[in-house]
């Protein structure tokens, strides 16, 4: 799930490019583990900064148009380039495993139930 340019531009300027982990919620759904990449994705030679959320969950349907709420808990690694697509995929898999390990820690697990994710009036999308 990618955030729009406007959302990325509104991120605090002191957030370093890199890979982060935390919690994500689509609409009023359940809260899931996630990995977030912030930066220029040098492998794909992007010229605009992006924020891409990988929710560690399989959804039955797509969720275009839904509100995506995230809480960034920690930092995994800096942004880097890769020599091949296979190396990039391998790094992403390692990032996901690291996120799972970190988010299972009691101090991170308790944030899954934060009230931030349970504010229905803030999560309504008008179609």
- The predicted model scores a pTM of 0.85
Whether 121 is covered by a domain: the verdict is: no
Whether 126 is covered by a domain: the verdict is: no
- In angstroms, rounded to a whole number, what is the distance separating the alpha carbons of residues 105 and 62? 29
Per-residue pLDDT of the chain (127 residues; tens, 9 = 90+): 888 888 888 888 889 999 999 999 998 889 999 999 998 876 677 778 889 999 999 888 888 888 889 999 999 999 988 899 999 999 999 999 999 999 999 999 999 988 888 766 555 544 4
Label residue 9 left, alpha or beta by phi (over 0 means left) and psi (-120 to 50 means alpha).
Answer: alpha
Q: Which residue has the tokens 């275009």?
A: 64
- Enzyme catalytic residues: 52
CB atoms within 10 A of CB 37: 19
Whether 122 is covered by a domain: the verdict is: no
- Provide the residue range defining the domain that includes 43: 5-116
CB atoms within 10 A of CB 112: 17
* Residue 32: CATH number of its domain: 2.40.30.30
Our count of domains for the chain comes to 1
């Amino acid at each position: 799930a990618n955030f729009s340019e406007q959302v990325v531009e509104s991120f605090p300027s002191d957030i370093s490019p890199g890979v982060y982990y935390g919690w994500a919620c689509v609409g009023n759904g359940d809260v899931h583990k996630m990995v977030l990449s912030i930066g220029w994705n040098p492998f794909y030679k992007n010229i605009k900064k992006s924020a891409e959320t990988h929710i560690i969950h399989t959804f039955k349907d797509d969720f275009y148009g839904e509100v995506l709420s995230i809480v960034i808990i920690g930092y995994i690694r800096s942004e880097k380039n890769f020599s091949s697509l296979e190396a990039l995929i391998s790094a992403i898999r390692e990032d996901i495993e690291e996120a799972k390990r970190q988010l299972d820690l009691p101090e991170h697990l308790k944030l899954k139930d934060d009230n931030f994710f349970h504010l229905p009036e803030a999560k309504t999308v008008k179609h």
